[in-house]
Amino acid sequence: MILCYILIEKIRRGEKMKILKYLLVACMMTMSIFAQETKRIALTFDDGPKAKITEEILEVLNENNAKATFFILGTNGKRYPKILEKIYDGGHQIANHSYNHPNLKKLPMNDVKKELESTNKIITSVTNKKVVYFRPPYGALGKTQKEELKKSLGMESVMWNICPKDWEKPSDADYIAKFLVENAKDNGIVLLHDYGKTAQALKVAIPELKAKGFEFVTVEELNKK
């Protein structure tokens, strides 16, 4: 606003060179603001919770003030309810990854709903909130299934656009960390799993990405932007 008043005054006086100078300053200030703009990224973890490993991941996240989304299996959630509580108490999001990890695309719709509803009950017992987001195992879900689940259960499927394939044997913590740092992008959704090597990779990747201006948010927060 101050620059605008100065420019108006310079125009009145016919001081062209000074006008150009102030315009240059304004451009530099604008570029600086855009350069400092925070980029948002969502870390997501499938197949948990798992004893010790999920807790190790939570420790890394909490140390770095980073939020994440855990797509849990109903079988594991039932086995480790205390870990679910730790996830929720840490400010993270708990979402649905089915009960037994089947290929939902190959199941009748009634069985698909049972898989999701059984896991929803486990999640809701901890959060007291309606579960909206789910990720189909293997990313396998038919278009008709997706539409029906949104209509009947009010649930939305969540895929990903960044994937270091941490489940493959050749990938180790160094590779995963390097991949995350090099491929991170604004509005990115990262597919990860509750593995020890993934927890180790996050110890390196999260601080580096924060230094690059990334903010770690839940899927729900990312979708609110």
Q: Is 215 in contact with 41 (CB distance < 8 Å)?
A: yes
List Cβ neighbours of 83 (8 Å cut-off, separation of 6 or more): 48, 49, 50, 51, 54, 55
pLDDT at residue number 30: 44
Say what the pLDDT of residue 6 is: 52
Amino acid 18: pLDDT: 55
- Both tokens assigned to 135: 């990720």
d(CA 162, CA 103): 21
Annotation says 47 is catalytic: no
Selected catalytic residue, list 46, 47, 166, 194:
46
Pick the catalytic residue from 47, 92, 97, 193.
193
Q: Which pLDDT score, from 0 to 100, does residue 34 have?
A: 42
Walk along the chain (225 residues) and give the pLDDT tens digit of each residue: 554 555 456 556 666 555 545 554 454 444 444 444 789 999 999 999 999 999 999 999 999 999 999 999 999 999 999 999 999 999 999 999 999 999 999 999 999 999 999 999 999 999 999 999 999 999 999 999 999 999 999 999 999 999 999 999 878 999 999 999 999 999 999 999 999 999 999 999 999 999 999 999 999 999 996
Active site residue 111: no
pTM of this prediction exceeds 0.75: yes
Q: Given this model, what pLDDT does residue 13 score? A: 66
Q: 188 by DSSP, 3-state: which?
A: strand
Q: Do 70 and 96 form a contact (C-beta atoms < 8 A)?
A: no
